[in-house]
Each structure stands twice: as C-alpha cells, then as structure tokens.
C-alpha cells in the first residue's frame, strides 16, 4: 500500500432512524488526491492524484482493480461518460486523455489541449498557462468541454 496521503472514502448505512458513517482510508496514492468519481452501474470509484496516476477501485472490497498511467503532470479533474464507458482526465500537462473503462488499461485518445490554450501574449505578468483545470462530457457525451486559467474549449465528435 502507498503512503497515507490519499483519499477518504465514506460509506453510509442506516441504523434504525439514524445514519451511521463508516470512514475508510484508501491509501493507494503517494501524493494528494484531487478528484474522485463514482460509477454506480459497475460499483466502482475512480481517484486521480498529484502522483499522475488514476486508480479504479472496486467499491465493495476497496481494492485497486486497474491503475491508469499516462499523464506527465498533476491530474486536475475526471469525468465519466456512462453511455460510452469513457473516462476523461484533465492534466496540468496540457492534455485530456480518454480511457476505455471496459478494458481498464488503454488510453484510447489523447487531446493536445495546450496547442489551443497557448497565446501570443508575452506579458510576463500573465504568463502562458496551458494547464487543463477542468473537463466534462456534455449530457449526450458527444462533446468534451474543458477549462484552463483563461479559456474554455469545446471538442466535438464527428
């Protein structure tokens, strides 16, 4: 198991008329966890960390089913597309990676967002930040929306 600088996962149970919380520490990341996502269809949860790793866990046993590796900087956000079984991960490396959750191993596409985020602005006070801070699938899942420090982008399929 990794260091204890990881996520806190809660599971609740009803006990008579009160709600009882059971706190479990999941210690599989070596640096702080930035985002979590839960898939109720498969009863799995997904964590992403500053250690540049994504872990898919079984929500019953709390064990790692699959680690996903491919980003070269902090992972800032996750979003899950239930219809396509795709996970999108945004990173400070300037990319969005799409992962096939069914196979659990492969990055099916990498979007080089930084080339759209970099500007001609050479102001040293503003800088040029190509980090991707947020990512989300549209309701139908055919668009991916992302945000950086100063811009938002929409990637559309087809």
Q: Which residues of 37-62 are buried (b: 16+ CB within 10 A; e: fewer)?
A: bebeeeebbbbbbbbbbbbbbeeeee
Question: In the prediction, which pLDDT does 156 show?
Answer: 82
- pLDDT: is 34 or 125 the higher one? 34
Share above pLDDT 70 across residues of the chain, in percent, rounded to a whole number:
73
Question: pLDDT class for 17, splitting at 50, 70, 90?
Answer: low
Question: In the prediction, which pLDDT does 18 show?
Answer: 56
Question: pLDDT class for 78, splitting at 50, 70, 90?
Answer: very high
Domains of the chain: residue spans and CATH: 33-156 (2.130.10.10)
- Whether 44 shows a pLDDT value over 70: the answer reads yes
The tokens 């520490």 sit on which residue?
Answer: 25
- In this predicted model, what pLDDT tens digit does every residue of 1-16 receive, in sequence order? 343 333 444 444 445 5
What value, to the nearest 5°, has the Cα angle with vertex 66 and ends 47 and 10? 40
């Amino acid at each position: 198991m990794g260091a204890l600088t990881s996520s806190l996962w809660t599971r609740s149970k009803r006990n008579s008329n009160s709600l009882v919380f059971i706190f479990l520490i999941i210690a599989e990341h070596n640096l702080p966890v930035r985002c979590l996502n839960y898939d109720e269809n498969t009863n799995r949860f997904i964590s992403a960390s500053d250690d540049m790793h994504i872990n898919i866990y079984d929500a019953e046993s709390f064990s790692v089913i699959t680690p996903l590796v491919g980003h070269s900087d902090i992972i800032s956000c996750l979003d899950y597309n239930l219809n396509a079984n795709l996970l999108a991960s945004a990173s400070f490396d300037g990319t969005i990676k799409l992962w096939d959750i069914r196979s659990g191993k492969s990055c099916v596409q990498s979007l080089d967002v930084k080339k759209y985020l970099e500007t001609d602005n050479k102001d040293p006070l503003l800088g040029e930040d190509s980090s991707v801070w947020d990512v989300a699938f549209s309701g139908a899942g055919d668009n991916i929306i992302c945000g950086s420090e100063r811009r938002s982008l929409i990637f559309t399929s087809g």
